[in-house]
Homo-oligomer: A and B are copies of this chain.
Amino acid sequence: MASTIKDVAKMADVSISTVSRVINDSKPVSPEARRRVLHAIEVLDYKPNEVARSLVTKKSNLIGVIVNDIGNSYVSQVLRGVEEIGRMFNYDILLSSSYGDLEVEMKFANLFSQKQVEGIILISDILNERLMFKLDELKIPYVVINRFYTIDEAATVSINNKNATYKMTQSLIEAGHKKIGYVALRKDMDRTNETYKIKGYKEAMRQCNLKPHVIYSEGLDREDALEVMEDIVDDIKDQKYTALFCTQDILAIHLMNALFDQGIRVPEDISICGFGGTVLSEIVRPTLTTVKEPFYDIGAVAIRKLLKSVDSKEELKRDTVFLPVEILKRDSVKSL
Give the B-binding residues of A (Cβ under 8 A). Answer: 2, 47-52, 54-55, 60, 69-71, 73, 75-77, 79-80, 83-84, 87, 92-97, 110-111, 113-116, 138, 250, 253-254, 257, 260, 279-280, 283-285
Contact = CB atoms under 8 A, between A and B. Distances in A.
A306 B284 CA distance: 39
The 6 A-B residue pairs with the shortest CB-CB distance, nearest first, are: A50-B114, A76-B76, A95-B95, A93-B95, A257-B285, A71-B80
Nearest to A67: B83
Contacts of A77: 71
Given A47-B113, A93-B94, A250-B283, A70 B79 contact: yes
Contacts of A73: 73, 76, 279
B94 A94 contact: yes
Given A76-B76, A92-B111, A283-B253, A70 B51 contact: no
Contacts of A84: 97
A48 B111 CA distance: 10
12 contacts: A2-B113, A47-B113, A51-B51, A51-B54, A73-B76, A73-B279, A80-B97, A83-B97, A92-B94, A93-B94, A93-B95, A257-B285
Contacts of A51: 51, 54-55, 60, 115-116
State the number of copies, please: 2
Contact of A283 (B79, B97, B116, B280): B280
A116 B253 contact: no
Contacts of A76: 70-71, 73, 75-76
Residue with the highest number of chain B CB atoms closer than 10 Å, among A52, A70, A116: A70
A279 B254 CA distance: 13
A121 to B, nearest CB: 12
A336 to B, nearest CB: 23
A136 to B, nearest CB: 14
Contacts of A257: 285
Contacts of A113: 2, 47
Given A49-B116, A51-B54, A52-B55, 15 more contacts: A2-B113, A47-B113, A48-B114, A49-B114, A51-B55, A55-B55, A71-B80, A75-B76, A76-B76, A83-B95, A83-B96, A94-B94, A94-B95, A260-B285, A280-B283
